[in-house]
Amino acid sequence: MLFILIASTFWLLIKLSDNGYITSLEYPVLYENIPDNKLMVGSPSHTINLRISSYGFRLLGYQLKDVTPLRIDIKKHTRKSVSKKDVYYWLPNLYRDEMQAQLDGQTSLLRLEPDTVYLVLSEKIKKEVPVRLNVKTDFKKGYQAYGQPVVSPEKVVIYGQKILIDSISFVETNPTIIYGIHTDVEQSVKLKLVNELITVNKETVRFSLDVDQFTEKVLHVPIRLTNVPKGYKASIMPSTVEVSCKVALRDVDQLKSNDIELLCDFAQLRKFPDRKHLQLQLNKASGSFEVVFMSHQNVNFLLFKQ
């Protein structure tokens, strides 16, 4: 077995040292300088085949060796097809000398395949669309958002084929969850594109959110009567309601009873004349507070003729 192994090794070395072996070598191609108004679509060839002849050892080395890609400048090195719209082409044989220079003197470049490489460069349009946040927030106990989240920029510009761009009305951020929030938030979030043929002028946007500690405050709010039937005087019970509000600590002193309006609207009797009680209507002033409880949702009433 040892002698067989030694003999096989010498035979292989002798064969590899012979000249005249022919093989195909994949040569990488890198496309550069695509025009701003163009978009490369489809699956363009990123390699060309070099048919070469050399010693066995040389061919084996080429298979293992990393070569410098052939750089094709789209603006300079391609030509537009006369008969086919959006089709461009370049001719590998024009770069025969450049590729032969990367081979050693004992290797012959026989031919290049294919002789023509076609590319599809479609017209690219742009469109401004809003950014939609896909951010979930988890607050520590007693904390919550003060106001609405802010995204900057609010809109981005997308580029691509018209048939793809027309169907897009917004760009969404990647799903993001922020845990244990107890201070103001400001961080970058990535944008998500559903189609690799569409590009965007921003990869990330800024997400910010004001955060404050919240507490509860109880207000005694009087009830205002409206639409009392003509010729009648109305009496209700109760005349004031306790309203519990969740409010930010920064605003707790500014929150007053007149920030909330409670209405008892006697127009309800037009639709329900036999009703013995009336529902209260709550009108809340704008601000970062939330009504969480009311001691009464409706009131009893009496009507007296004047």
Residue-wise pLDDT for 188-211, tens only, equals: 999 998 777 788 889 999 999 999
pTM value is: 0.59
- Which of these CATH numbers, 3.40.50, 2.60.40, 2.170.120, 2.60.60, describes 19-123? 2.170.120
Residue-wise pLDDT for 62-84, tens only, equals: 554 566 777 888 888 888 888 88
Strand order in the sheet with 79-80: 38-41, 117-123, 87-90, 79-80
Q: Using a pLDDT cut of 90, give the percent of the chain over it.
A: 41
At the fourth CATH level, which superfamily is domain 125-209? Answer: YbbR-like domain (2.170.120.40)
Q: How far is Cα 261 from Cα 264, in angstroms, rounded to an integer?
A: 10
Enumerate the domain spans of the chain: 19-123, 125-209, 214-305
Identify the CA nearest to 88 among candidates 71, 64, 72.
72
Query: Between 218 and 4, whose confidence is greater?
Result: 218
- Provide the pLDDT for residue 58: 58
Q: How far is Cα 112 from Cα 193, in angstroms, rounded to an integer?
A: 38
> Which residues, in sequence order, are CB contacts of 85 under 8 Å at separation 6+?
none
User: Do 19-123 and 125-209 agree at the fold level?
Assistant: yes
Q: What is the mean pLDDT of residues 44-65?
A: 65
Where residue 14 falls among pLDDT bands split at 50, 70, 90?
Answer: very low
| Cβ 129 vs Cβ 9: under 8 Å | no
- Provide the pLDDT for residue 16: 42
**What one-character DSSP code corresponds to residue 36?**
T
* CATH code that applies to domain 214-305: 2.170.120.30
pLDDT at 253 over 50: yes
